[in-house]
């Protein structure tokens, strides 16, 4: 028996030491959640993951390489395969299989009744503008710096939350798209801080979100700051975590001063607070 254990430990040792492993933390997330994918082993020449029909490059770190995995707020529950292909400096290539579990999320619901005239219809030129802006944003969210630029997320303001992530609004009996961000009840003019370091990829005015700033944090991760009163940075600027990017306002489709803070990961709408706690616990 002792000899068998000896064989098991020392016989496999060279293999294990070389192999490395793929880790996903946490293994199960709700729709709207995020997880950290980590390759533990020698820093690879290149590590590419395949998840949910997309290819993602892991960013090299001292311990191996990392990438963020996300589940859209409307993602279907189930077990999603994740494969990681590692190319070593020696030229050796190996693929590791793993999976992530996406659970149904239970987000709060809010029923509102408004006079139909306030809900729709919209003038043709407004619909045209909305369509144009949607295309610009889709384009913007589909391109990103390959390296992950952030290692932590901080709150953009220190005010109470007035509307949580995922809130399902049912307007006149018709479900609207879920709330893809967090609203803070911040007074007009409150400085808004960059929640992480990144590049300003949008600074302008949009129909729904009014004066808006979008930061690119790499690996398809973006943060969005909406309904601002004024914009304090312009496209192409590099911001550090905590830098003031604008002031709280009520621009766009808004009924009063507040900050809407959202995060997109490869086009998926994810919970900024959940990402903040994940990175606080699991330093990438």
Residues at the contact surface with Zn ion, assessed by CB under 5 A: 181, 183, 260
Q: Containing H/E element for 117?
A: helix 116-119
Min separation Cβ 97 and Zn ion, Å: 38
- CB-wise, 186 or 197, nearer to Zn ion? 186
- Cα–Cα nearest to 219, from 173, 261, 279: 279
Min separation Cβ 146 and Zn ion, Å: 29
User: How many angstroms separate the CA atoms of 3 and 92, rounded?
Assistant: 32
Min separation Cβ 226 and Zn ion, Å: 7
3-state secondary structure of 124: helix
**Beta-strand relationship, 109-112 and 168-171:** parallel
- CB-wise, 217 or 227, nearer to Zn ion? 227
Determine the residue with CB nearest Zn ion. Answer: 260
- CB-wise, 183 or 268, nearer to Zn ion? 183
Q: Which structure tokens are listed for 145? A: 């710096």
Q: How far is CA 55 from the centre of its chain?
A: 16
- CB-wise, 161 or 238, nearer to Zn ion? 161
Min separation Cβ 260 and Zn ion, Å: 3
Min separation Cβ 209 and Zn ion, Å: 9
User: How many angstroms separate the CA atoms of 204 and 223, rounded?
Assistant: 15
User: How many angstroms separate the CA atoms of 68 and 148, rounded?
Assistant: 9
CA angle 156, 159, 163 (to 5 degrees): 90
Which residue's entry shows tokens 């999320």? 105
- CB-wise, 100 or 275, nearer to Zn ion? 275
- CB-wise, 69 or 180, nearer to Zn ion? 180
Min separation Cβ 180 and Zn ion, Å: 8
CB-based contact 31:104 (threshold 8 Å) = yes
Min separation Cβ 176 and Zn ion, Å: 12
The number of beta carbons lying within 10 Å of the beta carbon of residue 74 is 14
CB-based contact 82:24 (threshold 8 Å) = yes
- CB-wise, 217 or 269, nearer to Zn ion? 269
Q: List strand residue ranges (DSSP E) for 64-185, in order.
A: 64-70, 78-87, 93-103, 109-112, 161-163, 168-171, 174-175, 182-184
Query: Considering all CA atoms of the chain, what is the largest pairwise distance in Å, rounded to the nearest integer?
Result: 82
């Amino acid at each position: 028996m002792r000899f068998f254990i000896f064989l098991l430990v020392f016989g496999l040792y060279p293999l294990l030491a070389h192999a490395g492993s793929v880790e996903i933390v946490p293994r199960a997330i709700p729709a709207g959640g995020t997880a950290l994918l980590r390759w533990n082993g020698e820093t690879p020449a290149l590590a590419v993951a395949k998840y949910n029909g997309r290819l993602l490059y892991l960013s090299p770190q001292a311990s191996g390489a990392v990438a963020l995995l996300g589940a859209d707020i409307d993602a279907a529950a189930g077990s999603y395969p994740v494969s990681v292909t590692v190319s070593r400096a020696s030229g050796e290539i190996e693929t590791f299989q793993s999976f992530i579990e996406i659970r149904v999320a239970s987000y709060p619901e809010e029923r509102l009744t408004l006079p139909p005239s306030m809900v729709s219809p919209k003038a043709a030129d407004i619909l045209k503008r909305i369509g144009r802006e949607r295309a610009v944003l889709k384009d913007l969210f589909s391109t990103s710096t390959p390296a992950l630029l952030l290692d932590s997320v901080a709150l953009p303001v220190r005010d109470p939350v007035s509307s949580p992530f995922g809130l399902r609004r049912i307007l006149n009996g018709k479900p609207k798209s879920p709330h893809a961000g967090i609203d803070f009840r911040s007074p007009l003019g409150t400085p808004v801080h960059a929640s992480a370091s990144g590049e300003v990829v949008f600074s302008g005015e949009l129909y729904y979100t009014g004066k808006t700033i979008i930061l690119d944090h790499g690996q398809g991760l973006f943060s969005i700051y909406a309904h601002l009163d004024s914009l304090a940075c312009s496209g192409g600027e590099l911001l550090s975590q905590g830098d003031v990017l604008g002031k709280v306002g009520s621009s766009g489709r808004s009924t009063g001063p507040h900050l809407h803070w959202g995060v997109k990961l490869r086009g998926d709408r994810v919970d900024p607070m959940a990402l903040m706690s994940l990175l606080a616990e699991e330093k990438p």
